[in-house]
């Protein structure tokens, strides 16, 4: 979508102007992964309009292959407006203009499979499933377990303002994925599940389940595979989970929107590099911190070598990390990272 950010805090009715930028769960992940040096292709639909031109150009500027984006001459590009407040507060307002958009017309019949062939990872979002019955049908096809498919990553991304179906549908989609990201709070809101253990009991199928716990950190349930570094879909795991928890670093938050997408990108980047689960979680936190410390939906990830050094800190030093605006601007020496 094209995203409009407010020029100052306040109710949407009182904000006098907005700055145009880009947003969208899957495109956010694509941009962050490309910025981290991965080969990424974004598959979607946008209108044959100026906003569609802007979206394609802006996403491509991150190094993302946009050849899988189709233009729709009959439907507009989706847009949304939001306030500057945190999504978790009652003061937060967001207005989506996505009904009848080009993206909402995606279906199993108009998304060519050749756009997805050869991928190591296919990342999906529950937001897309909420856009229309056709989009939900596409998500059902893409999360169906079949031989030879890519590793399927699914971020639940429950949005009550968009979702018209029973949110249990999101649970069904998540069961078909190999890697699932879900917030502890959204699992309780959508499914009435309290706590990470209850979420894992309801989602035993994914080889990796990441439960995000806000400022407390994130917890990963992983089932060992025969080749953990490759992490290919369809590999049978062994019974039993390994549970890994990594606390989140202290972050001076500018805006929380997009942090979940950034976390997924950081985790997936580390997965593609074959890093251990603890390092994957730490890279997820670091990439999320890059977005938390900027006003828009997309932050600039830290240089890989710098992020690797931070992710390799011992538990004590990791626990003292304090990241503020501008912390990713340069490949700083370790001593330059503020601690408290």
Read off the pLDDT band of 56 (50, 70, 90): very high
**pLDDT (average), residues 51-71:** 95
Read off the pLDDT band of 35 (50, 70, 90): very high
The span from the CA of 275 to the CA of 119, in Å, is 19
**pLDDT (average), residues 249-262:** 87
The span from the CA of 199 to the CA of 201, in Å, is 5
Give the pLDDT confidence score for residue 87 in this predicted structure: 58
Q: Can 14 be counted among the known catalytic residues?
A: no
The span from the CA of 150 to the CA of 123, in Å, is 9
Q: Which of 32-46, 162-176, 320-334 has the highest mean pLDDT?
A: 32-46
Strands 179-183 and 208-212: parallel
Given the residues 86, 261, 314, 315, select the one marked as catalytic.
261
Q: Are 44 and 124 in contact (CB under 8 A)?
A: no
The span from the CA of 337 to the CA of 174, in Å, is 37
Tell me the DSSP string of 147-211: TTPPEEEEE----TTT--S-THHHHHHHHT-SEEEEEHHHHHHHH---SHHHHHHH--SSSEEEE
A 10 A CB-CB count for 308 gives: 17
Read off the pLDDT band of 89 (50, 70, 90): low
What H or E segment, with its residue span, contains residue 127? helix 126-129
Q: Are 286 and 311 in contact (CB under 8 A)?
A: yes
Quickly tell me which residue has 């094209």 as its tokens.
2
The better pLDDT of the pair 339, 209 is held by 209
Is residue 162 over pLDDT 80? no
**pLDDT (average), residues 45-67:** 96
Helix axes 277-292, 304-311, angle to 10 degrees: 120
Q: Which residues pair with 103 in a beta bridge?
A: none
Q: Are 23 and 258 in contact (CB under 8 A)?
A: yes
Give the pLDDT confidence score for residue 333 in this predicted structure: 40
Read off the pLDDT band of 151 (50, 70, 90): very high
**pLDDT (average), residues 7-31:** 91
Read off the pLDDT band of 229 (50, 70, 90): very low
Structure tokens at 274: 């074959």
Read off the pLDDT band of 273 (50, 70, 90): very high
Contacts with 212 (C-beta within 8 Å, 6 or more apart), sequence order: 181, 182, 183, 184, 218, 260, 263
């Amino acid at each position: 979508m094209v995203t409009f950010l407010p020029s100052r805090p306040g109710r949407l009715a009182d904000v006098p102007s907005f700055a145009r930028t880009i947003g969208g769960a899957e495109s956010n992940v694509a941009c962050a992964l490309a910025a981290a040096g991965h080969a990424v292709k974004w598959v979607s639909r946008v209108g044959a309009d100026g906003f569609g031109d802007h979206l394609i150009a802006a996403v491509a500027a991150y190094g993302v292959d946009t050849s899988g984006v189709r233009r729709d001459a009959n439907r507009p590009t989706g847009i949304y407006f939001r306030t500057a407040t945190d999504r978790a507060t009652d003061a937060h307002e967001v207005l989506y203009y996505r009904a009848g958009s080009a993206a909402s017309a995606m279906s199993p019949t108009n998304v060519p499979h050749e756009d997805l062939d050869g991928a190591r990872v296919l990342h999906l979002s529950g937001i897309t499933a909420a856009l229309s019955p056709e989009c939900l049908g596409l998500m059902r096809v893409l999360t169906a377990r079949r031989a030879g498919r890519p590793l399927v990553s699914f971020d639940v991304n429950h949005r009550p303002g968009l979702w018209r179906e029973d949110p249990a549908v999101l649970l069904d989609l998540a069961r078909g994925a190999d890697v699932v990201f879900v917030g502890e709070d959204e699992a309780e809101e959508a499914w009435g599940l309290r706590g990470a253990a209850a979420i894992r009991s309801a989602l035993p199928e994914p080889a990796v389940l990441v439960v995000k716990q806000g400022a407390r950190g994130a917890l990963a349930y992983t089932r060992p595979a025969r080749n953990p570094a490759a992490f290919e879909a369809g590999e049978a795991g062994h019974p039993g989970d390994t549970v890994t928890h990594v606390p989140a670093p202290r972050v001076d938050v500018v805006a929380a929107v997009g942090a979940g997408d950034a976390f997924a990108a950081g985790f997936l980047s580390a997965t593609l590099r074959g890093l251990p689960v603890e390092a994957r979680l730490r890279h997820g936190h670091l990439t999320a911190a890059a977005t938390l410390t900027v006003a828009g939906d997309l932050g600039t990830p830290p240089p890989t070598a710098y992020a690797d050094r931070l992710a390799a800190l011992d538990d004590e030093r990791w626990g003292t990390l304090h990241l503020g605006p501008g912390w990713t601007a340069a490949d700083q020496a370790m001593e330059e990272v503020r601690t408290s």
